[in-house]
Amino acid sequence: MRNTKDYRHGYWRSLEHRAMSHDEEADTWREHPPKPEGTDVSAGGLSRRRFFGVSASGAALAGAAATTGCIRKPKENILPFSERPEDMIPGKPLYYASAFTLGASVTGVLVESQDGRPTKIEGNPKHSGSQGATCVYAQASILDMYDPDRTRSPMQGEEAIGWDVAEATVADLVKAKAAAQGRGLAVVTGYVTSPTMRAQLAAMKARMPEAKIYIDDSMAPNNAIAAAEAIGGKGARVVRSLLNAHVVAAFDSDFLVSETDSVRLAREWAKTRRVTRTPDLTKSGGKVGGEYMSRLYVVEPHLTPTGMMADHRRRAKGSAVGDALLALAKALDAAGLAWPGETAAVAKALPAGSVDDTTAQMIAALAKDLMDPANKGRSAIIVGERQPAWVHTVGLLLDAALGNLAAGANVTGSARWMVDAHAVDAEPISNLTAADTIFVFEANPAYDAAKADVIAAANTVHFGLYRDETAQAAKYHIPVSHWVEAWGDTRALDGTIALQQPLIAPVFNTSSSLEWMSVLGGGRLVDGYSLVKFHHQAQEGAGAGADKAWRRWLHDGVATSQPREPLPPQLSGWGEIPKLISAGRQPVDGMEVNFHLCPKVGDGRYANNAWMQELPHPMTKLTWDNAAYVSAATAQKLGVATGDLINVGANGGSMQIPVFIAPGQAEDTISVALGYGRKWGQSANEVGFDTYAIRPYGSWFAAADISKAGGEHELVSTQDYGRMKPPSLIFDYPERPIVIENDVTGWAKDPTFVEKVNLMTRDRLHHLWEPPKLAGKQQWAMSVDLNTCTGCNACVVACQAENNIPTVGKKQVSNGREMHWIRIDRYFRGDENEPTAVVQPMMCQHCESAPCETVCPVAATTHSPEGLNDMAYNRCIGTRYCSNNCPYKVRRYNFFHYNLNLRPGWLNDDEDGARLAQLQKNPDVTVRFRGVMEKCTYCVQRINQAKIEAHVAGRDKVADGAIITACQQVCPTGAIVFGDKEDPDSAVSRAKANSRDYQVLRDLNNGPRTTYLARIRNPHPELESTAAREDEAGAGHGEGAAEAGHGA
């Protein structure tokens, strides 16, 4: 019997893969597996008619060339500025500080401008919400600016109207309402982070006291805010920091990827997980606790990236997560936790939560960890934004008792109380039942809050980028500026103020929402620059030095002189908790449907973003779709398999949605993502299924009737693409080490464990011929830490933006033709219902003796003296041998001219749109044509730029840290490190010196330059034995199938 703590074996990529026999698996080992119906060769939009058209024009061109006797390139004009702007050097990008907002999260960013075109978004290291990184949404939002679907002129119904008409219409509506004190006026917005906009709304309230403001924002932490305000009064907020955390318990919280302030929290949490030295059991008394490496406990209904990172994870229905927290409160109380002051009575009276046995075991271990004196004030109870307010209040109660919640500076606690004094006084959108004039600012209540009737019945003016559901229902639709085109300001939850500045004049001559809002407060359209500057100078005083301070803020992106110290609120609301519990606690007995924000399209606001649609989902790897995640056992009960449609009835509505059997899903639940099933937009239209139809607004789970519907829907998941296990036709390979994990004690006992998982020892590896010596002064290499990689996808989209990677559409993805240079592989291990998971970003490994190079017939891929695996696109003739021979399956082939055909069938009807989208392209990277192979270049354009700068300055070598690849730049957890491996002091050399460092498929002796740091888990010592027992039980029936061919 194999030792179940042996992390070498038993990985599987999908349930299909897990159930396969060894021979079947060999048959499926194809890079582009043929589909039953064959692959459609015309999928690039090249019909027969168009083919002949292209042939004819080609012939005409050849004729023209022959007659003129000239094969010169076409004449090109250079149009220099009449007067070049200061600091602008043509061809050199400039970076401007701005800020990106999503719900209540603010990420400071630096936007790259290439000759006046914003092309790429990077994190701003000076902003607390970014610390140099960004989330995946910020990366993708640049594409929205160039979206050809953006409305180009104001509209009344279906008719385009002039800007002057639009402005007069809004002014008239406001005037009429101002005369009536605002009676019957409703203003709908998303969560407002902008202090200027808050002031404007306050001015509007002063002018029209009876006007109502409604917030419609599913991405804002509405429940967390409600809980904080219940305890701390109006404006109270809790802001977390995980820098000092030893123990983190997440209750249905995906705080690492998709929730508020995820970038900052992921960065801070990663610092507690980036272990550089091997643990020493002799010094720590035989056990490794949170002070060495924080420990993460998770209870959640479906597997999220946070659950994937957890040391212990338990499944629970969304409606039962609160019970787990109540059980924890009871366990802590039983262990003698000292409840501070007035909270004791409340805590003692908390109802008992019912949890199953395995969860109870975990709760017991968690309680022990929390009661450990070493962890006092160094833990965090994070309740997810989907949980109702009462769960949040219980979480805050525990945080307070554990010493985590503190006020004032210099606290070690993981969270602190603050007061957001100028928060907008607003109601949730669900309260909007009737109004005669509605202004909707960049919100979509007709889609996400079922308010289409109310919108249509009133004089509604919709301000937004797209003619979306609300715009279609509204009487007027006025396009607004994208945030990269507009002035603005933001206030993060921790109080950091950051300014937004435009990088480009509005492409469609629009004004921003902030500017339109000035009509509400003052009656006329004022430019954003004046609004923002005036507001901040009024706050700071416009005396001497004010202009200088303003310029400093713009330059840094952060207004440092704004007060950031928290003001502690009066915590008088602890007594509210029992009332909140009795009002809000609603267990679901039968089947439960729970809703979540899609880690790709959010609440639907990125649904028309082709990058986001094509991105594989972090856990299920689904693209261009959403689905109902169910566990294997529940699927069996329902009699369905992946792709089968089910009927889901909830909240008085019903819908059909395909099933996706997702390992790690709680029993008797289905989890569905919001944001799909749209009826507009070239990317969004008809993609996925609209789950708002069955969602009670503001609630994230509900009892549901679920039955098999009959019929199927093709779901495209990339989870089986690029498997790295060879067929067993010739040799019966044992499973090769691709992801390597261990736990801390295993690592401590055997510091060289990564060495031992290889099939061959180092001395057995020989080259057929002497590898050529690499003469470069610096040798580029990368290290990826699997211990901190959360699979959030930010790197995938950052790479897409930086390297001009096209999207190909669902059909092409289903043929295995996606173009992402970074593929984030997700592996499961263990039981199919309660597996552990690990992700591994896989991109070109830049092998020192690269298998791709030896088979290229035209030497289009060769090695640089600095260790890069170069790709000369113009030499490539498209044999695809290199891709065939790549053991890591990281080469991507342009089967069609995807860059012209950005979306399937797109160019033909919208050439303006194609030209607009071209403006996003990075001019430092070649745009590849059909028939060309491509792959990760280690961002060679950035390497060359840094080298040229060093050479011009007279240095031979590039300083460590001067080259930051796009994926490294954006990584919230800093898992990716790049640099010169010849320099022993470089960050990458230090990372590779870690005893966890390993090469994937080292036995092939390729010498990959990208190496990985093995994943280390930090299980609680008492749960370890339990986990091992469970593992063993699981191994008995589950792993046998996948491993049958080779008893280990």
Partner 1 sequence: MPQIFPRWTNNIPIAAGLLAPIIGIGLIFAVWYWFSPKYTDVGYRPKQPVPYSHKLHAGDMGIDCRYCHNTVEQAAHAAIPPTATCMNCHKQVKTTSARLQMVRDSYDTGEPIPWVRVHQLPDYAFFNHSAHVAAGVGCASCHGRVDKMVVVEMDQPLSMGWCLDCHRNPEPNLRPLDQVTNMNWDVTKEEYDPKRDPERKRQVNPPTHCSGCHR
- CA-to-CA distance for 669 and 658, rounded, in angstroms? 14
For the bound state, the minimum distance from the C-beta of residue 907 to partner 1, rounded and expressed in Å, comes to 19
CB of 937 to partner 1, least distance (A): 7
Q: Least distance (Å) from partner 1 to the CB of residue 753?
A: 36
In this chain, which of 161, 203, 925, 962 binds partner 1, going by CB under 8 A? 925
Please identify, using beta-carbon distances, which residue of 89 and 730 lies nearer to partner 1: 89
- The binding track of 725-764 with respect to partner 1, each residue x by CB under 8 A or -, is ----------------------------------------
Stretch that binds partner 1, among 144-152, 606-614, 865-873, 891-899 (CB under 8 A): 865-873
Binders of partner 1 in range 633-692 (CB under 8 A): none
Local structure of 152: helix, strand or coil: coil
The whole-angstrom separation of Cα 547 and Cα 534 is 11
All residues at 6 or more sequence positions from 870 whose CB lies less than 8 Å from its CB, including other chains: 861, 862, 863, 864, 937, 940
Q: Does 915 bind partner 1 (CB under 8 A)?
A: no
Specify the residue, 764 or 875, whose C-beta has the smaller distance to partner 1.
875
Q: Which stretch binds partner 1 (CB under 8 A): 442-450, 506-514, 819-827, 867-875?
A: 867-875
Q: Between 178 and 872, whose beta carbon lies closer to partner 1?
A: 872
Could you tell me the strand order of the sheet in which 437-441 lies?
Answer: 159-160, 155-156, 476-479, 459-464, 437-441, 185-189, 212-215, 427-428
Answer whether 290's CB lies under 8 Å from 417's CB: no
- For partner 1, how many residues bind (rule: CB under 8 A)? 45
Work out how close the CB of 864 gets to partner 1 at its nearest, in angstroms, rounded to a whole number.
4
Which of 90, 575, 710, 1040 forms a contact with partner 1 (CB under 8 A)?
Answer: 90
> Given the rule CB under 8 A, which of 135-143, 177-185, 476-484, 868-876 is the region that contacts partner 1?
868-876
Scan for tokens 């968690």, then name that residue: 366
Q: Is 162 in the site for partner 1 (CB under 8 A)?
A: no
Token code pair at residue 610: 């082709």
- In the shown chain, the binding pattern of residues 807 to 846 toward partner 1, with x for contact by CB under 8 A and - for none, equals ----------------------------------------
Closest distance between partner 1 and the C-beta of residue 866, in Å?
8
Q: Is 67 in the site for partner 1 (CB under 8 A)?
A: no
Min separation Cβ 858 and partner 1, Å? 12
Sign of CA dihedral 229, 230, 233, 239: negative
Q: Which stretch binds partner 1 (CB under 8 A): 526-534, 643-651, 713-721, 921-929?
A: 921-929
Q: Least distance in Å: CB of 122 to partner 1?
A: 19
Judging by beta carbons within 10 Å of its beta carbon (0-12, 13-18, 19+), is residue 799 exposed, middle or buried? buried
CB of 860 to partner 1, least distance (A): 8
Structure tokens at 559: 């207004």
Q: Please report whether residue 80 would count as binding partner 1 according to CB under 8 A.
A: yes
Q: Measured between alpha carbons, how far is 191 from 101 in angstroms, rounded to an integer?
A: 9
How many Cβ atoms are within 10 Å of 92's Cβ, its own excluded?
11
Of 984, 998, 977, nearest to 752 (Cα)? 998
Closer Cβ to partner 1, 37 or 83, answer by number: 83
Minimal distance, residue 954 CB to partner 1, in Å: 3
Interface pick for partner 1 out of 37, 83, 589, 912 (rule CB under 8 A): 83
Considering the rule CB under 8 A, would residue 857 count as an interface residue with partner 1? no
One of 278, 537, 885, 926 touching partner 1 (CB under 8 A): 926
Backbone φ/ψ region at 888: left (φ over 0), alpha (ψ -120 to 50), beta: alpha
One-character DSSP codes across 438-461: EEEES--HHHHSS-HHHHHHSEEE
Of 89-97, 517-525, 532-540, 559-567, which segment contacts partner 1 by CB under 8 A? 89-97
CA neighbor of 222 nearest in space, from 602, 697, 594: 697
In 359-456 the beta strands, taken as DSSP E runs, fall at 379-383, 405-406, 415-419, 427-428, 437-441
Pick the closer one to partner 1 by CB: 498 or 914: 914
CA distances from 280 to 284, 376, 740, 1021 (A): 7, 23, 20, 16
Stretch that binds partner 1, among 528-536, 872-880, 884-892, 965-973 (CB under 8 A): 872-880
Q: How many CA atoms are closer than 13 Å to the CA of 902, on its beta-carbon side?
A: 29
By the 10 Å C-beta count (0-12 exposed, 13-18 middle, 19+ buried), 155 is classed as buried
Best CA proximity match to 355, nearest among 314, 302, 397, 411:
314
The answer to whether the CB of 157 falls within 8 A of the CB of 165 is no
- Piece in contact with partner 1 (CB under 8 A), picked from 82-90, 322-330, 373-381, 624-632: 82-90
918 binding partner 1? (CB under 8 A)? no
Stretch that binds partner 1, among 259-267, 718-726, 737-745, 919-927 (CB under 8 A): 919-927
Specify the length of the chain in residues. Answer: 1048
Asked whether position 87 contacts partner 1 by CB under 8 A, the answer is: no
Give min distance, CB of 1030 to partner 1, in A.
50
Which of 508, 733, 873, 881 binds partner 1 (CB under 8 A)? It is 873
Residue range at the interface with partner 1 (CB under 8 A); choices 722-730, 748-756, 850-858, 859-867: 859-867
Strands, E, within 465-506: which ranges? 476-479, 488-491, 497-500
Q: Give the shortest CB-913-to-partner 1 separation in angstroms.
A: 22
In this complex, which beta carbon is closest to partner 1, that of residue 684 or of residue 781? 781
> H-helix or E-strand containing 645?
strand 644-650
CB of 75 to partner 1, least distance (A): 6
Encoded one letter per residue, x for contact with partner 1 by CB under 8 A and - for no contact, window 929-968 reads --------x--xx-xx---x--xx-xxx------------
Please check whether residue 330 is in contact with residue 365, taking contact to mean a CB–CB distance below 8 angstroms. no
3-state class (DSSP) for residue 342: coil
- Residue 91 beta carbon to partner 1: minimum distance, rounded to whole angstroms: 4
Backbone angles phi, psi at 548, to 5 degrees: -65, -45
Residue 871, beta-bridge partner list: 861
Nearer to partner 1, 586 or 944 (CB): 944
In this chain, which stretch among 25-33, 52-60, 79-87, 683-691 interacts with partner 1, using CB under 8 A? 79-87
Closest CB 874 distance from partner 1, rounded Å: 5
| Options 87, 874, 909, 1047; binder of partner 1; rule CB under 8 A | 874
With CB under 8 A as the contact rule, which of the stretches 34-42, 333-341, 357-365, 861-869 interacts with partner 1?
861-869
Distance between CA atoms of residues 741 and 719, nearest Å = 20
410 near partner 1 (CB under 8 A): no
CB 327 within 8 A of CB 335: no
Q: Which region, left, alpha or beta, applies to residue 711 given φ > 0 means left and ψ of -120 to 50 means alpha? A: left
Within 246-318, where are the H helices? 262-271, 305-309
927 binds partner 1 (CB under 8 A): yes
Q: Which of 188, 868, 902, 933 binds partner 1 (CB under 8 A)?
A: 868
CA 154/CA 166 separation, integer angstroms: 6
**Which residues, 757 to 796, sit near partner 1 by CB under 8 A?**
777
Residue number, 756 or 955, with CB nearest to partner 1: 955
Residues that bind partner 1 (CB under 8 A): 70-73, 75-84, 89-92, 777, 862-865, 868, 870-875, 924-927, 937, 940-941, 943-944, 948, 951-952, 954-956
